[in-house]
Chain A
Amino acid sequence: MKKIWLYSEDLDTAEEMITAARSIAQAGDDIGVITTSKANAEELAKRDVVKVVVLDGDGDGWVEGYAAAIAAALEEVEADVVLVGNTISGRNIAPVIAAKIGGGLLSAASNIQLKDNEVEAERTVYCGVAVSHEQTGLPAVITIDKNIFDPAADEEAKTEISIKQVNRESRVACIETIKVEHQDIDISKSERVIGVGRGIDKKEDLLMIDKLADRLQAAIGCTRPIAEDEKWYSVERYIGISGQMIKGSLYIAVGISGQIQHVAGVRDVKTIVAINKDENAPVFDVADYGIVGDYNEVIPALLTAIEK
């Protein structure tokens, strides 16, 4: 009988991790939940798990400041496996847990198999070029990307909640929290996306991309240099292994050469279209359909043809 625990301060992520835990658990295994939010604990206790532990701290912001307290609580319950959402805070907290319980950490793992004394999983390496099959003994910590597992629904359970007072890392103070709510659209949830790359000569040309996006009811994303160097779009819009991973039905890459980091972010899209004037651009290797040509001619022709 194993003890599978999960941590997230975020409700959706915690609910997804419950489903993830159930996917690797066997009959008789216990699933427990740790959270730093009292409000979320009430909700999570409605799921059929053995226990919900709330670590109640002394302030808001910089939740990673509670990493040591979270790790200590998981050591105390003698967790065999700890699941953590692969979020910004999760990526910081998970290694602290791994170090405390003396385990390995499989980060951004998929196809997780829990065996008697070890865990096996797959991880993307070399920015998406390859998949590494890895193994670690128990106890182990695993981080899992968002939106892979469905959130566990309300089961009207009445799980016991225990509250523990904890302190935050004292050498760091949170002086300001800037919430960015819906400042920009979440392209990872869009069905259709048009991607803009370095092949676009000037900012004014984005007007025709806007028109095409409008006709196709598509969102606009971009490559990393377009967001970070050109600053034509916010960094939340860049697609790739270190940015947004999209998985809708259609992706149209315009003026994108097809660097591996970018391509890894669109690999789960159903149909990929590439428009590029360089017929040797690597993007055509990963496209279902492609047009070799100057976007200044192709996009207007495409708009005219769609109108018809």
Chain B
Amino acid sequence: MPKIIVCYKWVQDEEDIKVNQESLTLDFSRSKKKISEYDKNALEIAVQLVEQQEGEVTAVSYGAGDLKQSLKDVLSRGADKVIWLDDADFAKADAFVTANVLAAVIKKNGPGDMIICADGSTDNCSQQVPVRIGLELDLPVITAVIAIEIVEDGVIVTRRSDHGQEKLKVCGPAVYGVLPEAAKARVPSLKQVMKAAKKLQLQMQLEELELAAEKMQPKIIQKKVEGYVMKRKNVIFKTGNVQERVKGLLDGLSQEGIF
């Protein structure tokens, strides 16, 4: 009966962010927030493990003032309860601060048997939060995980390596950074959405964590963010019969020296 903690991040949906082509500023006015895509896969693998073995999945998140909007979705996706902490200064938090806060929340509530995170988020993608959580909690960390199997005396993990795959055996609690391919995220059913309304939502305050000031001091300063603009020719053939459109393309490619 594993007790599993899953960390998630409430992020801007990158598909809807518009870049101003002249000023390179980002326009978030049409972008909705979502649970970071890879965190949905991390939550799914935890929920599947609990569905097989019973147990409990606790979702944990640290975020900005609008974090509350995420609770219903994360509970609909199968978490049994959610512990959340919003912070007006969240925008300044880097991976170091985020991991310190998440680790402190987990410590207060008990680390359980496993802590599952995505290897990275879809917004900042610094890919270091799971490792830093493990260090804070003095737990081993296994990244690039693609499968987790709970056995009698521990956990067998399959993970990608730079040369193929490795199978590792873990004894005791650990942090797992999982890849998206580990589990395809579900689309919550109406029943799951209804059930979510009755689940426990526990809000915590930063003060309760009694973190040293140094642990809330970011190591990385973001100086500016600029939209990435690709300059392309945009010669699109949309009229004429297919032979004419294909000829247009091949003429273009021969000018490029490709044919």
Q: Does A95 contact B (CB under 8 A)?
A: yes
Q: Is A129 within 8 A of B142, CB to CB?
A: no
What residue of chain A has the Cβ atom nearest to residue B233's Cβ? A288
Q: Is A126 within 8 A of B127, CB to CB?
A: no
Chain B residues in 8 Å Cβ range of A263: 230
Shortest CB-to-CB span from B147 to chain A, Å, is 12
B 219-259 contacts with A by CB, 8 A: 219-228, 230, 232-238, 242-243, 245-250, 252-253, 256, 258-259
Q: Does B201 contact A (CB under 8 A)?
A: no
Q: Does A87 contact B (CB under 8 A)?
A: yes
Shortest CB-to-CB span from B51 to chain A, Å, is 21
Shortest CB-to-CB span from B5 to chain A, Å, is 18
Q: Is A89 within 8 A of B94, CB to CB?
A: no
Q: Is A104 within 8 A of B233, CB to CB?
A: no
Q: Is B96 within 8 A of A260, CB to CB?
A: no
What residue of chain A has the Cβ atom nearest to residue B226's Cβ? A131
Shortest CB-to-CB span from B132 to chain A, Å, is 5
Q: Is B122 within 8 A of A290, CB to CB?
A: no
A183 to B63, CA, bound (A): 42
Q: Which of B160, B174, B253 sits near A88, CB closer than 8 Å?
A: B160
Interface of A is mostly: mixed
Chain B residues in 8 Å Cβ range of A104: 94, 96, 218-220
B 191-206 contacts with A by CB, 8 A: none
Pick out which of these stretches binds chain B: A75-83, A174-182, A194-202: A174-182
Q: Does A298 contact B (CB under 8 A)?
A: yes
Q: Does A151 contact B (CB under 8 A)?
A: no
Q: Does B188 contact A (CB under 8 A)?
A: no
Chain B residues in 8 Å Cβ range of A10: 162
Q: Does A285 contact B (CB under 8 A)?
A: yes
Q: Does A204 contact B (CB under 8 A)?
A: no
What residue of chain B has the Cβ atom nearest to residue A143's Cβ? B127
Shortest beta-carbon contacts, A-B, top 10: A104-B219, A180-B164, A95-B128, A95-B131, A292-B238, A176-B167, A290-B236, A288-B233, A126-B14, A178-B165
B positions within 8 Å CB-CB of A: 12, 14-15, 17, 19, 26, 38, 94-96, 119-120, 122-128, 131-132, 135, 140-144, 156, 160-172, 174, 177, 180-181, 184, 218-228, 230, 232-238, 242-243, 245-250, 252-253, 256, 258-259
